[in-house]
Amino acid sequence: MAKATRKSSMDAAHRLGYRSGLEVKVATQLQESGVEFGYETTKIKYQVDEVRSYTPDFTFPNGLIVETKGRFVSADRKKHLLIKKQYPKLDIRFVFSNSKAKINKGSKTSYGDWCDQHGFIYADKEIPDKWLK
């Protein structure tokens, strides 16, 4: 039952042009607040062994970048550390479905702990109003 609900939620998000229900929720919050934003409008090149591109979820005219995450897997964490190192002036922040979720099974480190350790600002469920002002 949970899989069917998740699948229909993902289908609904895709129909609206987003990749997840959390992105739809944040976009709705921004629209209802009358905040100007771009969704996946920016590409940021970063280098691992080859040049890759990162497309942030939400970008704002003031330069703020917000990435929404239900799951924050190892590849995402590595990517964001590389981007932070290569573009230290970018203001990338995270909105998690649950920042208390652990980064992997058996770990004591949560998504929020990881952000604190690496200097990223984060929130749960929606973008805090103070980020938008």
- Taking only the tens place, the pLDDT of each residue in 77-126 is 999 999 999 999 999 999 999 999 999 989 999 999 999 999 999 999 99
> How many CB atoms neighbour CB 28 within 10 A?
13
Lowest mean pLDDT among 8-22, 24-38, 61-75: 8-22
Model confidence, pTM: 0.72
pLDDT digits (tens, 9 = 90+) for 49-60: 788 899 999 999
Which residue is it, tokens 């997840």?
Answer: 20
Angle in degrees, 0-180, between the axes of helices 111-118 and 74-86, rounded to the nearest 10: 20
CATH of 20-132 among 3.40.1190.10, 3.40.91.30, 3.20.20.80, 3.40.50.10860: 3.40.91.30
pLDDT digits (tens, 9 = 90+) for 122-133: 999 999 999 988
